[in-house]
Structure 1
């Protein structure tokens, strides 16, 4: 990696650098409200805003800072083109449900655009076509099948002429979806937050929910205070109450990477792009802090905590791709995020389980949370207001999703979790703390016990018990993010042990050296 394309020492999101969210105080007393929303990302903020507009009292709880999770680390495409999915949806769910999925995401996109116009939110919204292209013979056939699926479903798009794609490399073919969009997610959600608080909505940061008493809709928090309401919405990306309905056995999580690079603007293609092959390459543009256009590249997904130890290689591959084809000059921002998938690749939106009609979840957006997360908020609002919604059955968490394909996914995912659990317990480490380099972390032996240690740039060692507080799997060191990641259910912890991403709600235990 040349000096001019060297990554900054620590990851930073373009969106968070340009527009920091508002700050709010933590919960300091017990609260009585109509609805408790847990998790202040795109789903939580949107549904809180919608319910406050209806005159309900809403408390929005966030374990860290608002928009501090996946929503602040997205590539921020507003699109119903979620990879080559529509032919698969037809095969698995039938034509009617495949069409409903497209309609739902289009409504999510339209909702965002309507809010931007009505509330006059300046968030770099831009309408653009979205393309999926192939560079191999095998995927060329898949792209053709997808274009035919668009025709069957009446999707606004289809085969794209190669001349419409302004890419700097040759492709075999492409499928296009018209009138999609891109935006700045934090600027947009800050706009909704401002209206929400003006309507009387309450936001509590640094208030991590740790338990829900489902029978009484009481949310318990790490601070020791409780929130009592009629309804509870869990929009924490990975639901922390995932034992309900055995959710943990029906979800899997991937981590992917992104960077924002400087290059000559003539090198940046017009539109949004995704390749059909693996590894994924996502391409779009975005205005930088100085107003000049940046190139955004994303991809390199892998199961969280189950990859090789040197996770920084994923960033390096994106840099190589950008250097080769787009002549990138510098990389001021790079970041990563997690994405959750269901067994049948449709989100889970609705009551967490039958008989718990007062506790709702929204999860498993499969990398496309901007539109899926928005329509989830609209569906959840209708549940609470007891209104009909055309998408409730499609996304219901208790839907019957077990066919041959999903059963195979279920067995494979849970076998992997069992393997990771056992592997972590039997693996022996021989390194000592003295062998760690500065700014290096890993599993070591300390006084005959296995511990997790990170030696920072000043030489201070941060030592933890490397056991995930969710269900007891051994965590592994993520060198790219300087975090401890769980290979079983994808909880993540800082090098100091603090929870970064759930489902875990408790920090890793610290060990005295």
Structure 2
């Protein structure tokens, strides 16, 4: 086999499809179902307007870096548009403006600086003070001709097309071991071996990390609510603000002539307490600002941010000849995932795209990354040590109400104990199988979450989200 792609999200599927189209023999290996993880729960903004990114890139790096970043993201939008037309994909693709707004007059200068940087980078940007939102804004950057779509429909069609071209997709096949040789060898949870000349790690957070990217990635979760609204109340674009702990607004086609309003916000680190309260705040904000009869859906998504605000896409580490990675999309995984597929496929085929070097995972920017690097790793160290010393608020599993979980010491071992709705207790090791941090209970989603690197587990210890590949070990309860 020419290439094995680990991970069946947008980056993995796009990479595999591009490579198959180029004539390579490719297999996608996914631990669960393809396009069912983070990609399946995205709000699906396909845009080059990524908050206040361009002024930051221009001031932190230079104008050329900002220009190439913009060019790569615009190329991704054009790629989805072209492929949708070529394959006849019904994926609700809509070309709309994207906005980042502020409601505080004191932040208008931030918008002015961003508009100036975005125009210099090549985006069709302008400053506006009026939008179709049902509340006033002080100022916003508007970038025209961006897009939104239904990523599952798009990517499932790509998966079908790559299999028609000879590619293969293996679902529910978890990779747990990796020998970086010639050829590379991958070991599955079931004991099988996959060999390939090239390997792409596109697992959202790298499950193998010989580049120590775990020291440069910060996981975060965001909550999402959705509600039907009348088409006449559609704000007609994609909106974002960092105020109120982030609020992202878009709509999608819905039934009976309505639109589905999708609101994202309240980002937090996995393992943080009080998720239920965050749901309440997001729901109240939505119902207080938009004309809807009530919320229809809610879910959560997880992203990884990088120390210098640009994804890591390219060769995995300085000594890597045949191993590639795509990660750290900073909550903009749609355009960046498509970009990653284009970049990795081109690189594996011996081509160099104009923006390849700005995404190179081997890049080192000490002055840019130092603050985030130190803060992140100090926080991880605090969890690694402090969570072991912190006493449980409960003394015994008998004190747990139904639907609750807690970490407690039983027979000298720290156990993650959960009582289900039927009253039955489930106990597993409280030590994350990735790098040994102590998990915490997520009361809203009924999961065990690692606050260090974002691994997530079901109450019985099964892996929900990497980088962990092994489950939490069961613990007996007398």
What TM-score, normalized to structure 1? 0.90
What secondary structure is seen at the aligned counterpart in 2 of 1:381? helix
Match of 1:364 among 328, 348, 352: 328
**Contact 2:129-2:137 within 8 A present in 1 as well:** no
Deviation at residue 466 of structure 1 after TM alignment: 0.8
Deviation at residue 445 of structure 1 after TM alignment: 4.2
Q: Residue in 1 aligned with 2:112?
A: 144
**Contact 1:268-1:326 within 8 A present in 2 as well:** no
Deviation at residue 447 of structure 1 after TM alignment: 4.4
Match of 2:88 among 120, 129, 142: 120
Deviation at residue 263 of structure 1 after TM alignment: 3.1
Q: Residue in 2 aligned with 1:301?
A: 267
Q: Residue in 1 aligned with 2:430?
A: 466
Q: Residue in 2 aligned with 1:453?
A: 417
State the distance in 1 between where 2:221 and 2:274 align.
14
Deviation at residue 153 of structure 1 after TM alignment: 2.3
**Contact 2:129-2:138 within 8 A present in 1 as well:** no
Q: Deviations over 1:251-289 (max 9, x none)?
A: 111111111112333333111111142411100101236
Q: CA RMSD in A?
A: 1.4
State the distance in 1 between where 2:26 and 2:92 align.
29
Match of 1:484 among 448, 457, 476: 448
Q: Residue in 2 aligned with 1:37?
A: 5
Structure 2 vs 1, CA of residues 328 and 447 (structure 1 numbering), >3 Å: closer, same or farther? farther
Q: Deviations over 1:3-27 (max 9, x none)?
A: xxxxxxxxxxxxxxxxxxxxxxxxx
Structure 2 vs 1, CA of residues 122 and 415 (structure 1 numbering), >3 Å: closer, same or farther? same
State the distance in 2 between where 1:105 and 1:204 align.
29
Write out aligned runs for 1:203-214 (5 A).
203-214=169-180
What TM-score, normalized to structure 2? 0.97
The reply to whether residue 274 of structure 1 matches residue 240 of structure 2 is yes
State the distance in 2 between where 1:300 and 1:476 align.
18
Alignment gaps of 5+ in structure 1: 1-32
**Contact 2:231-2:257 within 8 A present in 1 as well:** no
Point out the more displaced range, 261-270 or 475-484.
261-270
What secondary structure is seen at the aligned counterpart in 1 of 2:82? helix
**Contact 1:212-1:220 within 8 A present in 2 as well:** yes
Q: Residue in 1 aligned with 2:389?
A: 426
Write out aligned runs for 1:203-282 (5 A).
203-216=169-182, 217-242=184-209, 244-282=210-248
Match of 2:133 among 164, 167, 182: 167
Point out the more displaced range, 106-115 or 267-276.
267-276
The reply to whether residue 325 of structure 1 matches residue 292 of structure 2 is no
Match of 1:506 among 456, 463, 470: 470
**Contact 2:230-2:257 within 8 A present in 1 as well:** no
Structure 2 vs 1, CA of residues 128 and 231 (structure 1 numbering), >3 Å: closer, same or farther? same
Deviation at residue 246 of structure 1 after TM alignment: 1.4
State the distance in 2 between where 1:97 and 1:464 align.
47
Q: Residue in 1 aligned with 2:457?
A: 493
Deviation at residue 449 of structure 1 after TM alignment: 3.9
**Contact 1:267-1:327 within 8 A present in 2 as well:** yes
Q: Residue in 2 aligned with 1:15?
A: none
The reply to whether residue 190 of structure 1 matches residue 156 of structure 2 is yes
Deviation at residue 291 of structure 1 after TM alignment: 6.0
Aligned length: 475
State the distance in 1 between where 2:200 and 2:399 align.
46
State the distance in 2 between where 1:312 and 1:181 align.
32
The reply to whether residue 46 of structure 1 matches residue 14 of structure 2 is yes
State the distance in 1 between where 2:167 and 2:385 align.
46
Q: Deviations over 1:199-224 (max 9, x none)?
A: 11111111111122112311111111
Q: Deviations over 1:277-311 (max 9, x none)?
A: 24111001012366631111001111222x2x221
Match of 1:55 among 23, 26, 40: 23
**Contact 2:14-2:158 within 8 A present in 1 as well:** yes
Deviation at residue 328 of structure 1 after TM alignment: 2.6
Deviation at residue 108 of structure 1 after TM alignment: 0.7
Q: Residue in 2 aligned with 1:285?
A: 251
Q: Deviations over 1:356-410 (max 9, x none)?
A: 120000000000000011111111001111112112111001112211x411111
State the distance in 2 between where 1:282 and 1:475 align.
29
Q: Residue in 2 aligned with 1:21?
A: none
**Contact 2:101-2:141 within 8 A present in 1 as well:** yes
Match of 2:98 among 102, 106, 130: 130
State the distance in 2 between where 1:496 and 1:67 align.
24
